[in-house]
């Protein structure tokens, strides 16, 4: 009896060891502190150089965060987004959501260069993106979290996948929900991750459809209604004609420099910049999403908690681990 119990405990402990070491927290076989032995300075090197890059260009924090989203939604978090066009493989950088828009490649290249010097062929490009996204959020005043590492890099890119899987800024709520679901992310993840639009900028071409939309926001007070039309009038004048398609506007008009919960306050006031932001409060017929937006608008800690959880989930989409893929020497090309 006693022996049986001991055996049971032993196998339970073994089982939990196996699941925590090989499966990680969200089913992806990733680990905290993956480079502790093989490259002890990895996280420090990334952090320091993200800091330098963001000091030089504050927007870089937003750009590096977005880079992880666009990586993970196409073939999984495997740095496929970093590959340049080569031979008959067309780069994801050329796809509609990315071209003239996605940034931060030089920062990742420089960090990779330093890491190849410190520990050759050890730290994957996809893990660099993951660490850089985390550090960027923290640098702008957002939460810090322990990232799961151990991703490996893809041998290919998918131009078609980038066009198909990265949602368009004029997506309806239903489209966004389906789009996230395809990645194993739920409505809660959609709401929390959209909060990334508390930092960074968008081009006129991304939101001009939104500002010519007829007034259809939920409005509560007359003065609220007036402020909204002012919001749109200002943007309309900024994006007057197509020669201004590349003009930039902050995604969070109130506190663009800070990673905070103002994104959600903006949404409630009808001041979400993209159609895809605004639909979270205008197309939610059950009221479930609206309620969550309201909760985040009044409780920043709750937003931070949920954001971190969803970032861990997004960062685990279809990862390559173990002997899958490779550790690229140069993030722009597969190894020869
Ligand atoms: C829900 C669906 C989403 C849509 C439709 C969307 C769309 C967009 C668009 C159109 C832009 C502006 C691009 C430009 O005009 O050049 C943008 C910027 C940005 N997005 Fe999203 N996005 C979504 C979700 C996310 C998620 C999940 C994240 C990260 C977790 C994210 C992070 C960012 C950031 C940080 C920026 C600013 C980038 C910069 O200033 O360089 N977005 N997004
Ligand atoms: C989104 O915009 C594109 C053009 O940029 C247009 O072709 C498409 O019909 C729009 N989709 C929706 C749902 O409005």
The pLDDT value recorded for residue 29 is 85
Fold annotation for 193-301:
Peroxidase; domain 2 (1.10.420)
Task: Specify whether the CB–CB gap between 203 and 73 falls below 8 A.
Answer: no
Pocket test for ligand 2, best of 208, 209, 211 (most atoms within 8 A of CB): 209
* Ligand 2 centroid to residue 209 C-alpha, Å: 9
- pLDDT surpasses 80 at 125: yes
DSSP string, 203-271: EHHHHHHHHHS-S-S---SHHHHHHHHHHHHHHHHHT-SGGGTT-EEESSSS-TTS-SSHHHHHHHTT-
Task: Place 8 in a pLDDT band, splitting at 50, 70 and 90.
Answer: very low
pTM of the model: 0.91
Q: What is the mean pLDDT of the chain?
A: 91
- In the chain, what are the domain boundaries? 193-301
pLDDT in tens, 167-186: 999 999 999 999 999 999 99
Which ligand 2 atom is at minimum distance from the Cα of 169? Answer: 1
* Ligand 1 centroid to residue 8 C-alpha, Å: 49
Task: Name the residue with the closest Cα to ligand 1, atom 37.
Answer: 200
- Residues that are catalytic: 70
Pocket test for ligand 1, best of 53, 141, 197 (most atoms within 8 A of CB): 197
Task: Name the residue with the closest Cα to ligand 2, atom 11.
Answer: 170
Query: What average pLDDT does the segment 92-115 reach?
Result: 98
pLDDT in tens, 202-225: 999 999 999 886 555 544 556 666
Task: Place 282 in a pLDDT band, splitting at 50, 70 and 90.
Answer: very high
* Ligand 1 centroid to residue 198 C-alpha, Å: 10
- pLDDT surpasses 50 at 58: yes
d(CA 148, CA 139): 19
- pLDDT surpasses 70 at 254: yes
Which of 32-41, 115-124, 232-241 comes out lowest in average pLDDT?
232-241
Q: 3-state class of 202 per DSSP? A: strand
């Amino acid at each position: 009896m006693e022996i049986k119990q001991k055996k049971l405990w032993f196998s339970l402990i073994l089982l939990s060891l196996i699941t925590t070491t090989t499966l990680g927290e969200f089913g992806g076989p990733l680990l905290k502190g993956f480079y502790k032995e093989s490259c002890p300075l990895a996280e420090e090197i990334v952090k320091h150089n993200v800091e330098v890059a963001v000091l030089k260009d504050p927007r870089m924090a937003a750009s590096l965060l977005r880079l992880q989203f666009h990586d993970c939604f196409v073939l999984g978090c495997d740095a496929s987004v970093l590959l340049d066009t080569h031979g008959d493989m067309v780069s994801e950088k050329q796809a509609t959501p990315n071209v003239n828009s996605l940034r931060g490649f030089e920062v990742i290249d420089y960090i990779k260069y330093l890491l190849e010097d410190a520990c050759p062929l050890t730290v994957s490009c996809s893990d660099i993106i993951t660490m850089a996204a985390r550090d960027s959020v923290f640098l702008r005043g957002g939460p810090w979290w322990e990232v799961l590492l151990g991703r490996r890099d893809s041998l290919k890119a998918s131009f078609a996948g980038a066009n198909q899987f990265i949602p368009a800024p004029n997506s309806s709520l239903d489209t966004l929900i389906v789009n996230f679901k395809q990645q194993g992310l739920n409505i809660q993840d959609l709401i929390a991750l959209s909060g990334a639009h508390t930092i960074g900028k968008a081009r006129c071409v991304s939101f001009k459809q939104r500002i010519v939309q007829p007034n259809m926001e939920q409005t509560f007070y007359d003065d609220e209604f007036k402020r909204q039309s002012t919001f749109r009038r200002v943007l309309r004048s900024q994006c007057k004609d197509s020669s201004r398609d590349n003009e930039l506007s902050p995604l969070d008009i109130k506190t663009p420099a800070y990673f905070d919960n103002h994104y959600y306050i903006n949404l409630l006031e009808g001041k979400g910049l993209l159609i895809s932001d605004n639909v979270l409060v205008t197309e939610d017929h059950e009221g479930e999403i609206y309620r969550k937006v309201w909760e985040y608008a009044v409780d920043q800690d709750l937003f931070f908690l949920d954001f971190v959880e969803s970032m861990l989930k997004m960062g685990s989409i279809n990862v390559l681990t173990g002997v899958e893929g490779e550790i690229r020497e140069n993030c722009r090309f597969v190894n020869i």
